[in-house]
Each structure stands twice: as C-alpha cells, then as structure tokens.
Amino acid sequence: MGQVPIPSHGESRHGEDEEKGFAPMSVLTSDDHAEGASVPPSQVDLGPAAALSCRECGERFPLGPIFACASCFGPLEIAYDFPTGDPEALRARITAGPQNIWRYAPLLPVPADVADHPNLNPGCTPLVRADRLAAELGVTGGLYVKDDSANPTHSFKDRVVANAVEAARAFGFTTLSCSSTGNLAGAVGAAAARAGLRSCVFIPHDLEQGKVVMAAVYGGELVAIEGTYDDVNRFCSELIGDPIGEGWGFVNVNLRPYYAEGSKTLAYEICEQLGWKLPDQLVIPIASGSQLTKIDKGLKELIQLGLVEDRPYRIFGAQAEGCSPVSRAYRDGHDVVRPVKPDTIAKSLAIGNPADGPYVLDIARRTGGAVEDVDDARIVEAIKLLARTEGIFAETAGGVTVGVTRKLLADGRLDPEATTVVLNTGDGLKTLDAVAGTTGPSATIRPNLDSFREAGLA
C-alpha cells in the first residue's frame, strides 16, 4: 500500500535551520547507532547520492532525513554524482554484481558495500516473455510481464524498503516505521527483522486478520490505531514531529526520497533483461504515482549513462476506475489531479490524492503514452486472463495493468507491433478475496469414472 506524504508546515519546519532544511537531530554519542541519533551530513555515505534536490524549485539540500523543500515545500529527490566514463565498464560492473537490486548500487543512494549488509536483497525478478497472453491480446511485437511477486515479501515494496533501510542505517536510525494497510507493513517488518532494526508499524484497528498476521509475524511492534487509515497517517505525522519519533525512519515519510529511488531498479532490470534495450511501451500501475515517475527517471539515467540507446519510449499509467483521479485528469486535459474517495478492489492502488499525479500526467503526455482505468469486473477478468495464459497469479494491481493494456490495445492507443512491458507489482495470494467469488471447481463428482464421465470431463 503506497501512502501520500503530506508535507505539512509542521513536518518540514522540523528540519529547518541554517543548513537549508537539514538539522542533525542530535550528534552520535557512541560509535554505534544510538536511539534518536542522526549523523552529520559530511559523514553520510550513500554512494553516488550527492544531495537532495527540490523537484519544484531545484534548490539543493545536504543528504538527510527530510522530504520536503524548506523553501517551497516541493518534494525532494536524490541528486547524484554518477560514474563517468566508459559505459561498457559500468555495464560489466553491473553484470558482475549480485542477482538482486544491489548490482545497480552505482546508481542508487546506497553505500558501495551495501551487498555486505544484512538486507532482504530484492529484485532481479523475472521478465516473463508472455507469448500466450500476447496471442490473446493480439500483440505481435513482444509482450513481457515484469513479475515483482517474486520479491521476498512478494511485492515491489521490497525494492523501496530495501533502499530506505540503507538510508536508515546511514542516518543512525534504529527504528523502521510506516503506516500501512497491506504490502508495506509486511515489507517493513521483514526488512527490519533481517537488518536487525526495531520496527514499529501502524495499521487501522479493523484490518483483515490475514493482513494483521502478515504484519505481526516478523516480531516488530505492530500498533493498531482506533480510527481510519487517515487517522493512522495523521498520527504518524504527529509522531515524526515529537521527540518520541527521533531516531525513527518512516520509510515513506522522512526517508521517502531514498525509499522512492528503489523503484528505479524496475527500469534498470527491464532494460538489462531485454539485452540492454529500452522497451517501446510500458504499462505501470499508479497509486501515489511515485513508481511510474521513478521508472521514467531510471530509463532516462540509463540513456544518460550510455547504457542503452537514446530512443523514444512511451509510458502508460494504469488505475482502477474506482480510484482514477489521474486518468480522469488525463482524459479531461487537466494538469491538476482532483482527489477522490477510493472505492475499488485494487486496494494497493487506492490512493485518492496521489502526490505524484501531476508528474505522472506530464510523463504520459511527454512520452506519447496515456493514463487509463478499468473497472473492478475487468480487473478480475484480467487477473484470470494472466493466470490462465502465463501461470502468473497477480494481485489486483496486476489485474489493473493487464486490464488497461487490453483496453489500450482495443482502442489502438498501444501499438501491438511494439515491444511492451506490463508490470505486475504484487501477489494474488494477498488479494484472494478479489477472485474468490468467481473462481472454483469446474465440477464436483463422486470418486469413480462414471461420475467423471457424467460431468463431461472425459
């Protein structure tokens, strides 16, 4: 479950000082990580990450646990000093790296020795050549499914949380935290356990039992909040502003600039798996929109570094009709995204006020893509289509991307003769309810051949 960080005045003021928004909350008093401690910027080693940069006004800030520009409240993102020189040398270095996202460490905000740290090591998930799905959809140019259900906790969240863990270590944080109603809770709990960090995850008190088990089994603090998910988020903002929250890394709030970069690895992997080539078209789900914008960022970096040929690609965003603020804005030709109240089975995409919505609109328009949505019935159909043709059981978010792909092909907006990559970002095991009502045995018979024949199965 993605969340929308609301850069409130209170939060960003927390870090305002002469260092342009970065205030070490305290100085380390021992050699080791100390509760509530942070690390002076000069001692922060996050590899090629050079600074934080405001996406709106461009102002730069030293690396620190902040997420909003002190001047304009715009979102901060990582600015890099990338390796220069021979692309072949960089490519060889990546290829020789581990079979996980850390092979791309030279392009991420992580220290060079990141692979030696205990970490869930997500990534290098299959890019499945989906010929049977392609045949059903009429795609002739090569259709691929990037299947991120293969990650350790079975969603793409492992990629972003793994990056947040490294930032937490770098800033001397000892508690990893988030608010969540799903995938993120498990990803944070598991990552903290492996890393030896304390975790404290906040959930609404009425969460389904299955999701509670998944969030609790890793043994961190799991705090149920009497209230809605919005109440949970508001409480987390309060906690960040309070002394209690010092030493706490909220992966998708004060660590968000680092966390979000994890999604770039989807772009890197797709291109490497295609033989260091850009796909022509990508269909990406939209929750906060961060994943889509970071995949675009990742593709641009590969071009900039000479790792892939510089040629056009088109990015398509996919939403559920019951939570489609970005596709509505796209359809209406607006630059601003009007918040909605979500009502869809695609709960991992149910963010009614997507923080990166305007950036998504810009990318879809700039690259010649589009943003589209599908209704819940078609999401279920698409989940079953993908399962039936490729043996991939996707989360509802995967139903959204496959369903939107089908719609865009029918409309002629996706080119069937172009190389197309569709993302599945989660696992059907986590959203069984979505398909339970329409899936079941084809027959129930007595244990004998006559009964088998009578059922028309022979």
Subset of residues 132 to 191 that bind a copy of itself, contact rule: CB under 8 A: 132, 150, 152-154, 186, 189-191
Decide whether 47 or 186 has the Cβ nearer to a copy of itself: 186
- 271-300 residues in contact with a copy of itself (CB under 8 A) are none
81 vs 11, 78, 336, 375, CA distance in Å?
28, 10, 32, 43
Decide whether 213 or 377 has the Cβ nearer to a copy of itself: 213
Closest separation in Å from C-beta 128 to a copy of itself: 8
Q: Which of 1, 105, 164, 192 binds a copy of itself (CB under 8 A)?
A: 192
**Three-class secondary structure of residue 323 per DSSP:** strand
Spell 395-413 as b/e; 16+ CB within 10 A means b: bbbbbbbbbbbbbbbeeee
Decide whether 122 or 317 has the Cβ nearer to a copy of itself: 122
Closest separation in Å from C-beta 22 to a copy of itself: 25
Q: Which of 134, 176, 225, 346 binds a copy of itself (CB under 8 A)?
A: 225
Token representation of residue 403: 């369903």
Which amino acid is present at 199? S
- Does position 73 interact with a copy of itself (CB under 8 A)? The reply is no
Q: Of the candidates 351, 389, 378, 360, which has an alpha carbon nearest to the alpha carbon of residue 435?
A: 378
- Does position 430 interact with a copy of itself (CB under 8 A)? The reply is yes
Sign (positive or negative) of CA dihedral 410, 414, 419, 425: negative
Q: Which of 9, 205, 331, 366 binds a copy of itself (CB under 8 A)?
A: 205
Strand partners, 371: 317
Closest separation in Å from C-beta 435 to a copy of itself: 6
- Does position 399 interact with a copy of itself (CB under 8 A)? The reply is no
Count of C-beta atoms within a 10 Å radius of residue 45:
15
- Does position 393 interact with a copy of itself (CB under 8 A)? The reply is yes
Closest separation in Å from C-beta 146 to a copy of itself: 14
Decide whether 315 or 402 has the Cβ nearer to a copy of itself: 402
Per DSSP, the residues of 36-58 read T-B--GGG---TTEEEEEETTT-
- Contact (CB, 8 A) for 32 and 42: no
- Does position 131 interact with a copy of itself (CB under 8 A)? The reply is yes
Strand partners, 177: 200, 250
- Does position 92 interact with a copy of itself (CB under 8 A)? The reply is no
Closest separation in Å from C-beta 175 to a copy of itself: 11
Q: Which of 238, 343, 417, 454 binds a copy of itself (CB under 8 A)?
A: 238
Is residue 298 exposed (0-12), middle (13-18) or buried (19+ Cβ within 10 Å)? buried
Q: Which of 37, 105, 184, 214 binds a copy of itself (CB under 8 A)?
A: 214
Decide whether 27 or 244 has the Cβ nearer to a copy of itself: 244
264 vs 105, 126, 159, 301, CA distance in Å?
11, 16, 9, 9
